[in-house]
Amino acid sequence: MVEKLFTPEEAAEYLSISILTVKKWLRSGKLNGVKISNMWRVRESDLEELIRSDSQCADTVKEP
């Protein structure tokens, strides 16, 4: 099965965040991606993993 690859623009839309944030996360390693020549691509499973990890972090934060 071939996994869908997202451009940074598509990933930003999928996550409802800015493209600048996606690119910053790719450079920092917060979001895993594949660089093909000079173009970033993000696997759908990497987007889902980011969502899962962020929701787990949010669940552990206590309200003041």
Cα(first)–Cα(last) distance of the chain, in Å? 46
pLDDT of 61 higher than 50 = no
> What pLDDT was estimated at residue 32?
95
Classify each residue of 26-63 as buried b or exposed e, where b means 16 or more C-beta atoms within 10 Å of its C-beta.
beeeebebeeeeeebbbbeebbeebeeeeeeeeeeeee
pLDDT of 14 higher than 70 = yes
- Domains, the chain, with CATH or none: 5-60 (1.10.1660)
With bands split at pLDDT 50, 70 and 90, how would you rate the model's confidence at 56?
Answer: low
pLDDT tens across 15-54, in order? 999 999 999 999 999 999 999 999 999 999 999 999 998 7
Residue 32: enclosing H or E segment and its boundaries? none
Instruction: Provide the whole-model pTM.
Output: 0.79
